[in-house]
Amino acid sequence: MAHPHGISGLVGKLIAESEVNCNADKYYKILKHHEEVPEAIPHIITSAKAVEGEGITSGCIKEWEYNHEGKELVFKEKTTYTDETRTIHHSGVGGDVMNDYKKYDLTLVVNPKADGHGSVVKWTIDYEKINEDSPVPIPYLALLNQITEGDQLPPMAHPHGISGLVGKLVAESEVHCNADKYYKIFKHHEDVPKAVPHIYTGVKVVEGHGITSGCIKEWGYNHEGKTLVVREKTTYDDETRTILHSAIGGDLMNDYKKFDLILVVNPK
C-alpha cells in the first residue's frame, strides 16, 4: 500500500558521520595524498595509483584495489578536490562497483568540531542503480566507516586517538508514493509488520497511545539471523512528516548509549 505504483529505489544517498581527534586540515591532507592510505590500512585498501593526471590535482583518474566481503575488487574514479572546504569527490568511472550502478559517487568532507577539539568526518555515497536488483550500497558505507575508525587510520591521523563514539548514518531514497500517505503508513505502526514480516515480527504500544507523541513502543525484528527487540519513545511532527524513535531499551542498548532513528518524508 505504500507504493501503489511501485518503488523506484534506483536513486539514493547514504551518509555517515563520525568524529576523530585530529586536526581537520591534517586529516584531509592524509586522504588527499592517496599513496599513504594503502600503507595505513592494507587489509582494506591494497593499492592506490593515479592512472591519468597528477594524483593531487582535480581531474585526475585513480585506480583503487580493495578488499570487501572476502573479494579483491577494483574501483576507478575521477577525483575533484576543494581544499577550501576540505572536500574530496570521487566519481566512479569503472571497476567492479559499476556493474551494479549507473552512478556511484563518494564525497568526503572534513570539518573542525565546534569546540575546536578534533574533526567531523562525513562520507556521502550518491548512487543510481542499474536496475531494481542492484543492492543498496550499505555495505560500502560500512567499509568507509571502517576507514574512519580509530584502529583503521594512519597513526599520524590520530595522535590522541579516535573518539569514534558519536556518529550519524543517513539514507535517502525515492518512492513512488504520496508523501502524506507514506508518512501515515509509518505513523500507524500496526501496518508495518504486515508489510515486511521478514523484517519486523511484531510491534506493540506499551505506554500511551500509538499515534501520540510520547508513547512507548516495543518492536520485534530480525537482523543477521537473530530475533531482537527494541523499545523506543516516539515523537511525531505531522507538519514536517517526521517521526523520531528514541531507543530506551532492548538489544540495541547493549552497544549504544544513544540510538535514535528519524524518518522524514518529503514530496519530490
Residue range(s) in the chain whose domain bears CATH number 3.30.530.20? 11-173, 179-264
pLDDT given at position 164: 61
CATH for the 11-173 domain, from 2.60.40.10, 3.30.450.20, 3.30.530.20, 3.30.1490.20: 3.30.530.20
pLDDT given at position 157: 43
pLDDT given at position 232: 97
What is the CATH number that goes with domain 179-264? 3.30.530.20
User: Which grid cell sits at 82?
Assistant: 576543494
List the pLDDT tens digit at each of the 268 positions of the chain: 344 333 357 899 999 998 888 889 998 998 898 888 888 888 899 999 999 999 999 999 999 999 998 999 999 999 999 999 999 999 999 999 999 999 999 999 999 998 888 899 999 999 999 998 999 998 898 888 887 764 345 443 443 333 467 788 888 888 888 999 999 989 998 888 988 899 999 999 999 999 999 999 999 999 989 999 999 999 999 999 999 999 999 999 999 999 999 999 999 8
pLDDT given at position 143: 87
Single pTM value for the model: 0.74
> Would you name the residues annotated as active-site residues?
90
pLDDT given at position 154: 47
